[in-house]
Chains A and B, each alone.
Chain A
Amino acid sequence: MNIVVCVKQVPDSWAEKKLNPSDSTLDRDSVDAVMNELDEYAVEEALVLQEAHGGEVTILTMGPEKAGETIRKALSMGADKGVHVVDAGLHGSDAVATSAVLAKALGTLEWDLVIFGIESTDARMSVVPAMVAERLGSPQLSFATKVDVADSTVTIQRQTEYGFDTVEAKTPAVVSVVEKINEPRYPSFKGIMAAKKKPVTTLTLADLGLGADEVGLAGSWSAVDEFAARPPRQAGSVVKDEGDGGVKIAEYLAGQKFI
């Protein structure tokens, strides 16, 4: 069984993020970049499935040159090869444009399952897996807390407020997994060294037959009109306790309708 895992490089979730004033896109150079943490669960799940069913695990990413590091990390966890869609024209792509690129790239690969994390920690749209499934005409099994494959059927459990749903589809299918599903492995030094020699193919927009107007800022359906820095936090008011502190606290809480 062949699996493709889509991963994204994102700014470190702890870092202070900035937007470029010129085109309102994220300033990716000013912060450390890491593999989207939620994608680590997708990579892990693919490796677990591979251990059980054999086949190859391919890592697919779309992003600038530097995003190759994220492919390398997935390869050091144990994936077999990588595909990197890199093109200056991709800059500023929103979820719709991204899904177009990923779907095209997936069209060049052979797979039974495509696995995604549930969202990226920078954009937090949680829609790319569904959009890609739609474009590919594949069944979509989202928010999986468990994935099983038998013959050509994939079954997932999806956590709900009251229990879980069991959802089933024929492969090829698109799956997104939540962080409860597993514990991602740490790359071992052996894995890191082996990853240096694993093949990574790069694809451009031309390779995928996509025009510049279909992707990037031009091909995006959403746009950032304006942004502003978060206002600095206002200094709180200080109340001196002159024997009536308790009453003042009660008055304050009542004023805020807490009590």
Chain B
Amino acid sequence: MDFRIPEELQALRASFAAFVDREVRPIDESMTEEYWSGTPDHGRLHDAAEQVRRRAAQEGFYACYLPEDVGGWGVSTLGTALLVEDAARCGVRLAMMAVAPPNPSGPSTLLLQLPEHLQDVYLRPVVRGEASMCFALTEPEAGSDAQAIRTRARRDGDSWVIDGHKHYITNGDKADFAVVFAVTDPEKRAAGGITAFVVPRDQFRAGKTQWTLADTHPSELFLDGARVPADHVIGEVGLGFFAAMSFLNAGRAYIGAQCLGLAEFALDAAVAHARSRTAFGRPLSRNQGVAFPLAESKVEIEAMRWLTYHLAWAVDEGENPMLDASIVKYYDTERAYAVADRCLQVFGGMGLLREGPVERVLRHLRMLRIVEGASEVQQLVISRAMGL
């Protein structure tokens, strides 16, 4: 066993850190007013995120995990996870837009299963940061139980015609195209009856924005007779879930890495605050009631780190670590939230303020405990794997 991070990945992290410091930090600092405002200008925030995304794509960090022939760098899952962690840890919020994962608006590896001529149309523009996508699975009547979706796709000559209603779709209002999951065989459903399609913008309509407590606000999506050519199928007809499996493990490593980075950021901030803030004539850190929860947080962060790196490593080894992926999604989101909550407490009133460092971290982590398979669903997967 060799737990050292390979030299080339250390060098990649240093290069990314320089990019964040030189280019992302100044943009982020210019957004302070919006971050602290009760009524932020979402247009300005979106433009800033786009600016970061485009620059990061030009430099190559954004889609570094994709193969070189589609414009990526072929960076391993571990390497990408480290960049996701660093982006979350550095405290520059917009840095989280500089690496695509785990943002659903970025170029999904799913698109590698499209025929070559369609990769030019759909995948490569997203790799270049010139276009964005959304991932449309969830419906009002099908969330955790994803195989219960009702969106239907019917073959009509050389096309597929899709009808349905999606909701909670991140970037649904801005995306240039959607990856839409629809039922192609109601008898088979998850066992060969659900297909993933690429649907261009002009074939669907975004409904209302769904405002959340996090800084991500998804929207409804309507498909009314959406028509796509037959070659717009991702992978094979009926095997949409199978296609999605191909990126799920890596995707969970990236969510884990983001949780890890955010927890580290919150802890760094809380430790600094506990050492500098005085109450009752001594630094807060002199109280075990403050120091011990932070010590516990450190322990949990190290556990998160090695679970996450191990998952990424297993994916790179070509394994199919589905159980590890569920463990990471469950443990990292839950523990990172607990860490952030303890850290927020150390800040007292400032913890609750938008001006404080931890408030937005806590809100983001609260979201991660629900999206992409809620904690209970991960527990379900884990317990089933145990034969329960």
Residues on A lying within 8 angstroms of B by beta carbon are 34, 72-73, 76, 186-190, 192-193, 195-196
Q: A76 vs B16: C-alpha distance in the bound complex, in angstroms?
A: 13
Contact in complex: B11, A188 (CB < 8 Å): no
5 contacts between A and B (CB under 8 A): A34-B14, A186-B15, A187-B12, A189-B73, A193-B8
| A residues in contact with B8, CB < 8 Å | 189, 192-193, 196
Tell me the nearest residue of chain B to A35, going by C-beta: B14
Question: Which B residues between 271 and 292 are near A, CB-CB below 8 angstroms?
Answer: none
| A residues in contact with B148, CB < 8 Å | none
Q: A193 vs B16: C-alpha distance in the bound complex, in angstroms?
A: 15
Contact in complex: A189, B64 (CB < 8 Å): yes
Q: A73 vs B7: C-alpha distance in the bound complex, in angstroms?
A: 11
- 1/0 per residue, CB under 8 A from A, across B1-30: the answer is 000000110011011101100000000000
Tell me the nearest residue of chain B to A184, going by C-beta: B18
Residues on B lying within 8 angstroms of A by beta carbon are 7-8, 11-12, 14-16, 18-19, 59-60, 64, 68, 73-75, 79
The smallest C-beta distance from B233 to any residue of chain A, in angstroms, reads 32
Contact in complex: A72, B11 (CB < 8 Å): yes
Q: A105 vs B237: C-alpha distance in the bound complex, in angstroms?
A: 66
| A residues in contact with B12, CB < 8 Å | 187, 189, 192
Contact in complex: B11, A187 (CB < 8 Å): yes
| B residues in contact with A186, CB < 8 Å | 15-16, 18-19, 59
Contact in complex: A76, B11 (CB < 8 Å): yes
Tell me the nearest residue of chain B to A73, going by C-beta: B11
The smallest C-beta distance from B186 to any residue of chain A, in angstroms, reads 45
Q: A192 vs B18: C-alpha distance in the bound complex, in angstroms?
A: 15
| B residues in contact with A196, CB < 8 Å | 7-8
Tell me the nearest residue of chain B to A183, going by C-beta: B22
The smallest C-beta distance from B74 to any residue of chain A, in angstroms, reads 8
Contact in complex: A189, B75 (CB < 8 Å): yes
Interface on chain B toward A: helix, strand, loop, or mixed SS? helix
| A residues in contact with B14, CB < 8 Å | 34, 73, 187
| B residues in contact with A73, CB < 8 Å | 11, 14
- Count chain B CB atoms within 10 A of each CB in A72, A192, A195 and give the residue with the most: A192
Q: A162 vs B253: C-alpha distance in the bound complex, in angstroms?
A: 56
| A residues in contact with B60, CB < 8 Å | 188-189
Question: What's the count of A-B pairs with C-beta under 8 Å?
Answer: 37
The smallest C-beta distance from A72 to any residue of chain B, in angstroms, reads 7
| B residues in contact with A190, CB < 8 Å | 68, 73
| B residues in contact with A192, CB < 8 Å | 8, 11-12, 15
| B residues in contact with A195, CB < 8 Å | 11
Q: A256 vs B230: C-alpha distance in the bound complex, in angstroms?
A: 81
The smallest C-beta distance from A13 to any residue of chain B, in angstroms, reads 12
Are A188 and B75 also in contact (CB < 8 A) when A72-B11, A73-B11, A196-B8 are? no
Q: A63 vs B8: C-alpha distance in the bound complex, in angstroms?
A: 22
Q: A72 vs B12: C-alpha distance in the bound complex, in angstroms?
A: 12
Tell me the nearest residue of chain B to A40, going by C-beta: B18
Q: A189 vs B68: C-alpha distance in the bound complex, in angstroms?
A: 11
Contact in complex: A188, B73 (CB < 8 Å): yes
| B residues in contact with A193, CB < 8 Å | 8
Q: A191 vs B173: C-alpha distance in the bound complex, in angstroms?
A: 37
Tell me the nearest residue of chain B to A189, going by C-beta: B73
Q: A186 vs B12: C-alpha distance in the bound complex, in angstroms?
A: 9
Tell me the nearest residue of chain B to A76, going by C-beta: B11
Q: A96 vs B35: C-alpha distance in the bound complex, in angstroms?
A: 51
| A residues in contact with B73, CB < 8 Å | 188-190
Q: A72 vs B15: C-alpha distance in the bound complex, in angstroms?
A: 12
User: Can you add 19 more A-B contacts, CB < 8 Å, to A190-B73, A196-B8?
Assistant: A73-B14, A76-B15, A186-B16, A186-B19, A187-B11, A187-B12, A187-B15, A188-B15, A188-B73, A189-B8, A189-B60, A189-B64, A189-B75, A189-B79, A192-B11, A192-B12, A192-B15, A193-B8, A195-B11
| B residues in contact with A72, CB < 8 Å | 11
**Quick one: which of A34, A76, A188 contacts B59, CB cutoff 8 A?**
A188
Tell me the nearest residue of chain B to A196, going by C-beta: B8
Q: A76 vs B15: C-alpha distance in the bound complex, in angstroms?
A: 10
| B residues in contact with A189, CB < 8 Å | 8, 12, 60, 64, 73-75, 79
The smallest C-beta distance from A219 to any residue of chain B, in angstroms, reads 33
The smallest C-beta distance from A45 to any residue of chain B, in angstroms, reads 17
The smallest C-beta distance from B373 to any residue of chain A, in angstroms, reads 30
The smallest C-beta distance from B63 to any residue of chain A, in angstroms, reads 11
Q: A188 vs B15: C-alpha distance in the bound complex, in angstroms?
A: 8
Q: A68 vs B256: C-alpha distance in the bound complex, in angstroms?
A: 34
Q: A188 vs B75: C-alpha distance in the bound complex, in angstroms?
A: 11
The smallest C-beta distance from B133 to any residue of chain A, in angstroms, reads 23
| A residues in contact with B79, CB < 8 Å | 189
The smallest C-beta distance from B64 to any residue of chain A, in angstroms, reads 6
Q: Which 7 A-B residue pairings sit nearest by Cβ, starting from the closest?
A: A189-B73, A187-B15, A192-B11, A186-B15, A186-B19, A192-B8, A188-B60
Q: A43 vs B286: C-alpha distance in the bound complex, in angstroms?
A: 48
Q: A89 vs B72: C-alpha distance in the bound complex, in angstroms?
A: 45
| A residues in contact with B15, CB < 8 Å | 76, 186-188, 192
Q: A195 vs B7: C-alpha distance in the bound complex, in angstroms?
A: 11
| A residues in contact with B64, CB < 8 Å | 189
| A residues in contact with B59, CB < 8 Å | 186, 188
Q: A94 vs B64: C-alpha distance in the bound complex, in angstroms?
A: 42
- Count chain B CB atoms within 10 A of each CB in A186, A190, A193, A196 and give the residue with the most: A186
